[in-house]
């Protein structure tokens, strides 16, 4: 088993690190404080290929493996967690369009999406359908060569500031088999947006509800076959769990580096904080948890790339572990800063706020435990998950 990075992977990481340090990190605090959605930075990311990481090459994307993409996302998250997280959401929606839409729709949308000159939101969650995504109620009724869409979505990243909406909605009966996916232009007649949510973190990307009031959408804008939407959504969530786990690791790594530098400089009782054994033990645990989380996420990404039949279980385990570990590392970093960690002059408090939501989205960590336990209890799976 070879854990060494390839020459290409080293190049991807170096490019992402330079962009993160040069564009994201210097502006992250301002974007957070002023709730600025950095579209210019996202366009610059598109110039480097970061807005179409795993979209198929035939749609203009890089067609990267999820493992390679995760290494890029980790570096971007070190610069700005919220921006890196939105970038992964855009990538998920863009890859769905590039993989499942018709050739005409791909030609119409993907060049701009891959370039970052247009942005995409992914619309699954509803006020009454969070963890239980199969119970969503937003509906599309067939009307000739169109669908008429009515309903609403909640907690949609980028909503109101993006151009494309990949929407999961009901075209059939109750349950997952009645769900389809549509690409809906964000400015289509009948769409309205709620206020930007006042959030604890992720302030560098807007989050709004969306209401669809008899929105007319061509059938040609459907992703895949009618009734295939839930399968597409679940496929996207496996990758999304790798993405959000990766964002947690990248942010945790940044928090650890900041805390390490701080405890070397800060003196108490005529001694550097770094010289206290309690500090050293805390730093050691933080680093160990991050390394373990990173390897688990990369293993899950490898399983997903290999289409392993238990990839979803690995993605759930990686998401649960990495988002818990990433948040804990950020929280412990804040503790090492003491009172200064609670002041916005230092970015560690932002790291804590931005990583907290990772334990909730892409399936709560409680739901991840349900997925893992079910796999464990089916057909003696305890001996299979290795």
For 105-164, how does the pLDDT look when each residue is reduced to its tens digit (9 = 90+)? Answer: 999 999 999 999 999 999 999 988 777 777 899 999 999 999 999 999 999 999 999 999
Per-residue pLDDT at 128: 82
pLDDT, position 1: 67
Give 132: exposed, middle or buried? Use CB within 10 Å, 0-12, 13-18, 19+.
Answer: exposed
269 CB burial (10 A radius; 0-12, 13-18, 19+): exposed
DSSP 181-201: EEEEETT-TTEEE-PPP--SS
Mean pLDDT of 78-96: 97
pLDDT of residue 81: 98
Q: What is the pLDDT of residues 297-312, one digit of tens each?
A: 999 999 999 999 999 9
Known catalytic residue: 366?
no
| Active-site residue, from 257, 345, 362, 383 | 362
Contact of 79 with 20, CB cutoff 8 Å: yes
Q: How many CB atoms lie within 10 A of CB 60?
A: 20
**With contact defined as beta carbons under 8 Å apart, do 350 and 32 qualify?**
yes
- Convert 1-39 to b/e letters by CB count within 10 Å (16 or more is b): eeeeeeeeeeebbeebbebbeebbbebbbebbeeebbbe
- The topology (CATH level 3) of 121-227 is Butyryl-CoA Dehydrogenase, subunit A; domain 2 (2.40.110)
d(CA 207, CA 317) in angstroms, rounded, equals 27
Express each pLDDT in 166-177 by its tens digit.
999 999 988 889
Which pLDDT band, with edges at 50, 70 and 90, does 4 fall under?
A: confident
Using one digit for the tens of pLDDT, what is the confidence trace for 21-61?
Answer: 999 999 999 999 999 999 999 999 999 999 999 999 999 99
Residue 13 predicted with pLDDT over 80: yes
- Domain range annotation of the chain: 7-118, 121-227, 230-383
The pLDDT value recorded for residue 385 is: 54
Decide which of 1.20.140.10, 3.10.580.10, 2.60.40.10, 3.90.79.10 is the CATH code for 230-383: 1.20.140.10
- Residue-wise pLDDT for 74-83, tens only, equals 999 999 999 9
CATH number belonging to domain 7-118 = 1.10.540.10
DSSP 384: T
- Higher pLDDT, residue 267 or 296: 296
Pairing of strands 207-218, 164-170: unpaired
pLDDT above 80 (res 380) = no
Burial 296-323 (b: 16+ CB within 10 A, else e): bbbebbbbbbeeeeebbbbbbbbbbbbb
Across the chain, mean pLDDT equals: 94
**Per-residue pLDDT tens digits for 244-266:** 999 999 999 999 999 999 999 98
Q: Does residue 358 register a pLDDT over 60?
A: yes
Query: pTM of the entire structure?
Result: 0.94
Across 258-354, where does the E strand assignment appear?
267-268, 271-272
């Amino acid at each position: 088993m070879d854990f060494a990075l390839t020459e290409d992977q080293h190049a991807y990481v170096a490019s992402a690190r330079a962009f993160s340090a040069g564009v994201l990190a210097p502006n992250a605090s301002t974007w957070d404080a002023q709730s600025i959605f950095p579209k210019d930075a996202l366009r610059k990311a598109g110039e480097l290929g970061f807005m179409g990481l795993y979209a198929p090459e035939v749609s203009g994307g890089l067609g990267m493996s999820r493992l390679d993409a995760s290494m890029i996302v980790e570096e971007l998250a070190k610069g700005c967690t919220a921006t890196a997280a939105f970038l992964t959401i855009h990538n998920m929606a863009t890859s769905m369009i590039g993989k499942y839409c018709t050739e005409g729709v791909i030609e119409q949308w993907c060049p701009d999406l891959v370039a970052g000159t247009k942005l995409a939101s992914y619309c699954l969650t509803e006020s009454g359908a969070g963890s239980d995504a199969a119970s969503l109620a937003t509906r599309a009724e067939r009307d000739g060569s169109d669908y008429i869409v009515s309903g609403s979505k909640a907690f949609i990243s980028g909503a109101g500031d993006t151009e494309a909406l990949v929407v999961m909605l009901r075209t059939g009966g109750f349950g997952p088999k009645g769900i389809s996916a549509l690409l809906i232009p964000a400015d289509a007649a009948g769409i309205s947006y709620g206020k930007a949510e006042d959030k604890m973190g992720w302030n560098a990307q807007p989050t709004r509800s969306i209401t669809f009031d008899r929105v007319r959408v061509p059938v040609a804008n459907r992703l895949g076959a009618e009734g295939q939407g839930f399968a597409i959504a679940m496929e996207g969530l496996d990758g999304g769990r790798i993405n959000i786990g990766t964002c947690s690791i990248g942010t945790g790594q940044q928090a650890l580096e900041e805390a390490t530098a701080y405890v070397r400089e800060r003196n108490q009782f005529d001694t550097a904080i770094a010289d206290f054994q309690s500090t050293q033990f805390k730093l050691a645990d933080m680093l160990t948890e991050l390394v373990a989380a990173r390897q688990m996420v990369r293993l899950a990404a490898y399983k997903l790339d290999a289409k392993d039949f238990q990839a979803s279980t690995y993605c759930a385990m990686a998401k649960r572990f990495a988002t818990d570990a990433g948040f804990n590392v950020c929280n412990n970093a804040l503790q090492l800063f003491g009172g200064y960690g609670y002041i916005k002059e230092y970015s560690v408090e932002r790291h804590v706020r931005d990583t907290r939501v990772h334990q909730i989205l892409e399936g709560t960590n409680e739901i991840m435990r349900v997925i893992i336990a079910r796999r464990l209890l089916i057909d003696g799976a305890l001996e299979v998950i290795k």
